[in-house]
Copies of this chain bind each other. A is one copy, B any other.
Amino acid sequence: MISKQQQKYIQSLHNKKYRTEYGQFLVEGEKGISELLHSDYQIIQIYITEEFAQKLPTHKNLMVAPVTQIESVSTYKSNASGIAVVQQKRFEVPENFQGRILILDGLRDPGNLGTIIRLADWYGIEHLICSEDTVEFYNPKVISSTMGSFTRVKPYYLDIHSFMEKYPHPILGADLEGQNVHKWDFPKNMALVIGSESHGISAETERQLTDKVNIPRIGKAESLNAAMATGIILDNMFREI
């Protein structure tokens, strides 16, 4: 059973205001909860259905609850698995970023951010530099569309322009006028900038790019979406031949 007070608390975490105030967030659905249990995120409480409980290892803060109760506090329309209240993490910005990182310039769509986190995890990219107007990492729609990958990627919300000014390695952006991504030689240390869905990379950010690539087009679509372009560029970045 989820008490009335707990229900109210969980529902408050649907809103960014309270997520920020309490420093906690929600993880919902089978995949997210399974990955959460294998991560070092601090779990405050998990409410799951009897059926799903049988598939999971035990956890001291795990409690079985009826589906109807879980659905009444979930942000999903239907949720037959469970919901967890989890402590947010704040990651300290390292002095040097080694390897390849992503810089998000004003990404607004939660589904796109989630997809990019999942991609970063697929390609083993650990660090995600986010402009302050990028959608919140702990938004429930973001968390849900990462399919558990949120546990392995670290976001840093900061002023990306000051960051890029000091960043010592190449900064790459996608641009229709850029060089063919298939022929580009990706350095070991570098940042890839991803623009917003509606406006692309901002003018200020564009001036800070050191290099531009484009994805060759055969047909007539005017563009690809931000997450799709990121996926295709990452596949080129990490290919060995």
Contact = CB atoms under 8 A, between A and B. Distances in A.
Interface residues of A, number: 38
B182 A224 contact: no
Which one of A124, A215, A221, A222 has the greatest number of beta carbons of chain B within 10 Å? A221
A114 to B, nearest CB: 10
Contacts of A141: none
A179 to B, nearest CB: 13
Interface stretch (A10-18, A42-50, A115-123, A186-194): A115-123
A90 interface: no
A211 interface: no
A148 B124 CA distance: 34
6 contacts: A123-B219, A124-B219, A149-B220, A182-B240, A231-B231, A235-B236
Interface of A: 31, 111, 115, 118-125, 147-149, 152, 182-183, 215-225, 227-228, 231-232, 235-236, 238-241
Given A124-B219, A216-B240, A224-B231, 18 more contacts: A31-B222, A111-B111, A118-B225, A122-B220, A122-B224, A125-B219, A147-B223, A148-B222, A182-B240, A183-B241, A215-B235, A216-B239, A218-B238, A227-B228, A228-B228, A231-B232, A232-B232, A232-B235
